[in-house]
Amino acid sequence: MKIHIIGGPGSGKTFLAEKLSKEYGIRHTDLDELQWDNQSESYGIKRDSAERDRLLNKVLENEDWIIEGVYYAWVQQCFADADKIYVLSVPRYKYRYRIIRRFLRRKLGIEKGKKETLKAIVELLKWADKYQKVNLVEIRKLLEPYSSKVIEDC
């Protein structure tokens, strides 16, 4: 089974990916791990696009996969290959609460994660609002050819 989960920050992508991963016994990949250089000392350093694409293609070579992330411009092959595509959308108050809670849990060492700064979280909240209003509209249009395998707002 090949599953792609897409949605904005705080929409529940990782939660759903982990649930499906356990249910089907399939490893899941967070696209952030491919997009960002998490070995960098600084937060927000992107990985070289050729390296990112090589890593993605390696995941897509597997018979089964679960991929989750906010990205859509460079994951066209994922959409084409997927058996199911989950599109997650939650109310503004919910994703904002989740983003802030995750940031605090990471700062307190309760949850593993990136080296976000307070400034980065403020920018992420703004970006998440734009993603919901603009990017999800584009994503839904982009996914029209795959409508038979799209599961909306679960």
CB-count exposure of residue 5 (10 Å: 0-12, 13-18, 19+): buried
pLDDT, residue 95, reads 94
Domains of the chain, with CATH numbers?
2-152 (3.40.50.300)
Bridge partners, residue 4, by sequence: 67, 85
Tell me what pLDDT residue 37 has: 65
Q: What is the pLDDT along the chain (154 residues), one digit of tens a residue?
A: 999 999 999 999 999 999 999 999 999 999 988 887 666 566 666 777 888 889 999 999 999 999 999 999 999 899 999 999 999 999 999 999 999 998 888 888 787 766 678 888 999 999 999 999 999 999 999 999 999 999 986 5
Which of 99, 139, 82 lies closest to 14, judged by CA? 99
The reply to whether the predicted model has a pTM over 0.85 is yes
Q: What is the pLDDT of residue 48?
A: 77
- Distance (Å, whole) CA 41 – CA 59: 26
